[in-house]
Amino acid sequence: MQSRESMDMPLARSLPAPLAPLATLAYNLRWSWHPQTIALFRQLDGDLWESTGHNPVLLLQTVERDRLEGAAADEGFLAELARVAADLDRYLGDNATWFGQRHGGGEAAQVAYFSMEFGLTECLPIYSGGLGVLAGDHLKSASDLGLPLVGVGLFYRRGYFDQSLDASGWQQDSDEDNDPARLPLAPVLGADGERLLLTLPFPGRTLTAQAWRAQVGRVALYLLDADVPANAPEDRGLTARLYGGDADTRIRQEFLLGVGGYRLLAALGLAPRVCHMNEGHAAFLALERARELMRARGLSFAEAREAANAGLVFTTHTPVPAGHDYFSPDLMERYFADYMRELETPLHELLALGRKVPDDYREYFCMTTLALRSAAHSNGVSALHGAVSRDMWTAVWPDRPAQQSPIGHVTNGVHLPSWLSREMAALYARFLGPDWGHGLDAAERRARAARIPAAELWRVHRQRRASLLTFARQHLRAQLERHGLSEPRAAGEAQVLNPAALTIGFARRFATYKRAALLFRDQDRLARIIGNPDRPVQFLFAGKAHPRDEGGKLLIQRIVELSRQEPFRGRLIFLEDYDMAVARFLVQGADVWLNNPQRPYEASGTSGMKAAANGVLNLSTLDGWWAEAWEAARDLPDPPGWAIGRGEQFDDAEHQAWVDSQALYALLEEEVVPAFYDRDAAGIPQAWTRRMRAALAELSPVFSTDRMVRQYTEEFYLPGLAVDRAMVAPVHRHRLTRAQD
């Protein structure tokens, strides 16, 4: 294992001696949820902080020497640096964490969390959307809670993609370029101090991979990277892009993630007894874990699978069929024939694990099926999604009715320190207390939230709305200049939005089931809603469509076209290149967060949780997390938002969209807009602020990754660890008896 020092030493040596602790701070991503650390980086050079894309390593590598010398001679700066550095030390050394206190000391990593994408910070663009951000938030909460966990993923040189729009509003996908030497990443070294290289059997060749380590508070995240000189060009490019390429690329990436990731942990001397597969992408690890047990304990494939599976946890994330990986039998044979031969097990036994009908030789191999057949604990990501998944995967357990399917649910959450605005975090600290979210009962939560004065809450929120509008104008201006407008024209055109208007945010991937254009089905009716000069309404949209999703790109184009026409000009803005930074501004500064997926395709959704934590009111169809949040909160006198419709489902998507859009317009006309403009003599919307308090009291502590990770730990990880412990002994005895035979 590497020491923490090895990561930041080269950078530390290049800084003036008094500033060396900045390198330690830059390399631990804990800065991404510690505003005081960010404030230090910003103070060094605010413009550079922005132009580096909020990357403190690149900032420290490129900041002018004068600035460094200045800071090194500035007592105020050094005092703040000492405080922030001491705070990180305290954070890393804290033994009184939730896990430490409840479940014993933080021994060597016991849980490994595998995911194809991780959204930790905008400067490490190895995520595409909600799945990745959830994985990032999972690691951050695991760190805060003291859970012994490591993450495993892939490092993408070209990331997902940068989005810009051409003059017609058509999405252009351009490549990012992630140079690991300029990111908060360190090469993973072997015991000999050289780069650790892993090899994996590929047909007719060997794949070599190196790894990078990101430090997320206490948690290490290992990222595999195939871009090494030993590989042939097509293999070097294997980890170039997240979700790029064809099925052959995908199976190789998933082989690297599951099999390679598992071997990497072994090479590092880590033997995680529980492995969590975040989505089916990582499911090949189930095979590798069995293979290891076959070799170590002399078991058959079936016996080894039984022993291996006890420690496997699987989370499925989508009811959308295209969201599940299927590989042809040929492709499986190409990559697993040798692998299975080595195990002296027919390939057919493997293929059967990924099929609904094990004997159907033509059936494609499904990664979700493999994961479901392997993991001792499987779950969906909201109550509704759990039920939908039980129905969807009945074929995996043909003898059981759906109600008896072993798929449960753990509802997603968000990492509050990463998503709360600084201003709102200060209100939390003052009125809600440090134990917020740790099992307070509803009455206590409501009592504390009630202490926040309406005027205070409204002042803070208005401040965040103002920040959002400033950000949106700057973003738009840069966007227009990229489109070829002269600077003065771009500046003029960016004079949009009304700082006092009801501001509605909508941002997420432009997957078609999310129906980004639902709001625009009846443009005349919408025009009447937003056109009232006494009660103005404006909309901010953002989101990327997958590069191969023409339907999603058309939706973006449609919204951009509308944003250029009356009556939407200046009141409907599309912000390009949605990422975690854009997301933060939006979920912290909007008044209302709109989400209108077609039920039941939104497995959970998390952006609405980020908004709710900031006192933003949700306006959403009853899908994913909102179905259960609404169920719990609907009877409050001032609920934390509105439900579009009653959860009705129609087979005809067109009809569904019509019904849902009618409900949306009616809510805007009759409830949302009037409530926002219902002010007291001091200009404060009293009922609205009561709803905001309900968002804080009822939603933020429940829909958090702190709650979620505790739940995974208690329901899945600890039982997995216990079974695994118990299995070791009998399996061992079994082998002895065999040997005596």
Ligand X SMILES: *Cc1c(COP(=O)(O)O)cnc(C)c1O
Q: Which residues contact 167 (CB under 8 A, 6 or more apart)?
A: 483, 484
Q: Which is nearer to ligand X, 163 or 689 (CB)?
A: 163
Q: Least separation, in Å, of the C-beta of 586 and ligand X?
A: 9
CA atoms within 13 Å, Cβ hemisphere of 366: 19
How many residues touch ligand X (CB under 6 A)?
12
Q: Is 508 in the site for ligand X (CB under 6 A)?
A: yes
Residue 580 engages ligand X in binding (rule: CB under 6 A): yes
Beta carbon nearer to ligand X, 366 or 414: 414
Q: How far is the CB of 24 from ligand X (least distance, A)?
A: 27
CA–CA separation, 676 and 683 (whole Å):
11
Stretch that binds ligand X, among 128-136, 359-367, 446-454, 519-527 (CB under 6 A): 128-136
Q: Cβ closer to ligand X: 141 or 369?
A: 141
| C-beta closer to ligand X: residue 30 or 610 | 610
Q: Is 278 in the site for ligand X (CB under 6 A)?
A: no
Nearest to 374 by CA among 394, 398, 404, 350: 350
User: Binding of ligand X at residue 305 (CB under 6 A)?
Assistant: no
Stretch that binds ligand X, among 53-61, 125-133, 344-352, 372-380 (CB under 6 A): 125-133
Rounded Cα distance, 309 and 484, in Å: 57
**Axis crossing angle, helix 686-694 with helix 442-450, rounded to the nearest 10:** 140
Sequence-separated (6 or more) residues with CB below 8 Å from residue 187: 180, 195, 210, 211, 212, 213
Interface with ligand X in residues 33-92 (CB under 6 A): none
- Which of residues 261, 280, 505, 605 is near ligand X by CB under 6 A? 605
**Tally of CB atoms within 10 A around 14:** 13
- 513 exposure class (CB count in 10 Å sphere: 0-12, 13-18, 19+): middle
The answer to whether residue 641 forms part of the interface with ligand X (CB under 6 A) is no
- Burial of 457 from C-beta contacts in 10 A (0-12 / 13-18 / 19+): buried
Nearest approach in angstroms of CB 197 to ligand X is 33
Q: Which stretch binds ligand X (CB under 6 A): 140-148, 241-249, 495-503, 606-614?
A: 606-614
Which residue's CB is nearer to ligand X, number 369 or number 412?
Answer: 412
Angle at 608 between CA 602 and CA 612, to 5 degrees: 150
- What would the two tokens of residue 143 be? 């760190």
130 binds ligand X (CB under 6 A): yes
Phi-psi label, residue 146: left if phi above 0, alpha if psi -120 to 50, beta otherwise? left
In degrees and rounded to multiples of 5, residue 211 shows phi and psi of -140, 155
Q: Considering the complex, what minimum distance in angstroms separates the CB of residue 39 from ligand X?
A: 22
* Part of the chain binding ligand X (CB under 6 A), chosen from 51-59, 264-272, 573-581, 662-670: 573-581
576 near ligand X, judged by CB under 6 A: no
Between 329 and 552, name the residue whose CB sits nearer to ligand X: 552
By beta-carbon proximity to ligand X, the closer residue of 12 and 133 is 133
Residue closer to ligand X (CB basis): 578 or 688: 578
Q: State both tokens at 32.
A: 């991404």
| Window 220 to 249, contacts with ligand X (CB under 6 A) | none
Partners of 211 in the β-ladder: 224
Tokens representing residue 717 in the block: 């990880």
- Collapsed DSSP state (helix, strand, coil) of residue 414: strand
Radius of gyration of the chain (CA): 26
Only one of the segments 489-497, 599-607, 645-653, 663-671 lies at the binding site for ligand X (rule: CB under 6 A); that segment is 599-607
Residue whose CB is less far from ligand X, 188 or 612: 612
φ and ψ at residue 719, rounded to 5 degrees = -60, -40
Binding mask 131-160 for ligand X (x = CB under 6 A): --x---------------------------
72: buried, middle or exposed (CB in 10 Å: 19+, 13-18, 0-12)? middle
| Nearest CB to ligand X, comparing residues 133 and 502 | 133
Q: Is 505 in the site for ligand X (CB under 6 A)?
A: no
Q: Which of 583, 644, 673, 708 binds ligand X (CB under 6 A)?
A: 583
Q: Is 607 in the site for ligand X (CB under 6 A)?
A: yes
Q: Which residue from 579, 623, 706, 724 is in contact with ligand X, where contact means CB under 6 A?
A: 579
Work out whether 606 is an interface residue with ligand X (CB under 6 A).
yes
Q: How far apart are alpha carbons 26 and 185 in whole angstroms?
A: 10
| Least separation in angstroms between CB 580 and ligand X | 5
- The residues of the shown chain that bind ligand X, judged by CB under 6 A, are 129-130, 133, 508, 578-580, 583, 605-607, 610
